[in-house]
Amino acid sequence: MLRCGDDALLVTQPGGYVLRVGPDQLDAVRFESLLDEGRQLVAAGDPASGTVRLREALALWRGPALADLAVMEFLAPEARRLDELRLLALMERIDADLALDRHAELIPELEALIAAEPLRERLRQQQMLALYRADRRADALEVYRETSALLREELGLEPTRALQDLERMVLRQDESLGVPRRGAARTRPPGASDRVVCPFKGLASFDTGDAEYFCCAVRHE
């Protein structure tokens, strides 16, 4: 029996062992709590505090989720969920940093993330915005063209409405693409949506907003 103070951490029981720890002692729980807190701060117009919390959340990671337990197949869904949340935390932190006028330092980070996740349109939106704010308008438009070609080739899809809108805003040099004033609640890239769209629709449920993924064939008798 392993003890910490007066409390037993690891105890034996019929069939094996039980590890007794509180929620605040689990990195996964702390990570999700910090992620939620960071997102709330950013949404409330405080990206400086929000990015601090999000960086604290990301600092808890030491590699893929539950890597030491990868042989246990029943843990695979939870590992995927945590890895997805890690990427979400990264994207939320990037949004906060964009709101803090840190676009120049974000460009190389976004290039690396996109190399690993080429079909993540939100990362592409962030990259376009960072390049535009760095006075690299042509490069921002090239990102759109590359993304559009990749989506058609890999998935047979067009870019989302949000990405198309961002391209049009870059073309006309829309004033709203500038760094938002401090205290403004909106920090997501212009045209971005909170709705998560699975690029492989067979792996996600459909809703009314997914009508574009359906086609209707009319049979004439």
d(CA 160, CA 158): 6
Q: In a 3-state reduction of DSSP, which class is residue 198?
A: coil
Asked whether the beta carbons of 184 and 47 are under 8 A apart, the reply is no
Residue of 1 and 91 predicted with greater confidence? 91
Contact 159, 170 (CB under 8 A): no
What's the count of helices (H) and strands (E) in the chain, helices before strands? 7, 3
The residue type found at 61 is W
4 pLDDT more than 60: no
Right CATH number for 1-100 from 1.10.3720.10, 1.25.40.10, 3.40.640.10, 1.10.287.3510? 1.25.40.10
Q: Is the pLDDT of residue 172 over 80?
A: yes
In sign, the C-alpha dihedral spanning 64, 69, 73, 75 is: negative
Question: Which uninterrupted H or E stretch holds 150?
Answer: helix 137-155
Per-residue pLDDT at 64: 81
| Radius of gyration from C-alpha coordinates of the chain | 21
**What Å distances lie between residue 210 and 108, 121, 156, CA to CA?**
33, 16, 15
As beta bridge partners, residue 186 has none
Residue 90 has pLDDT above 80, yes or no: yes
Q: What is the pLDDT of residue 39?
A: 96
Q: Give yes or no for a contact between 57 and 89, defined as CB atoms under 8 angstroms apart.
A: yes
Q: Considering only the top CATH level, what class is 103-221? A: mainly alpha
CA–CA distances in Å: residue 102 to residues 56, 124, 126, 214: 18, 16, 12, 40
Beta-strand runs (E) in 72-212 = none
**Whether the domain at 1-100 and the domain at 103-221 fall into the same CATH topology:** yes
pLDDT of residue 21: 63
Q: Under DSSP, is residue 98 helix (H, G, I), strand (E, B) or coil? A: helix
In the chain, where the domains are located? 1-100, 103-221
Tell whether the model's pLDDT for residue 198 goes beyond 60: no
**3-state SS class at 214:** coil
Confidence of residue 194 (pLDDT cuts 50, 70, 90): very low
Residue 89 — very low, low, confident or very high, per pLDDT cuts 50/70/90?
Answer: very high
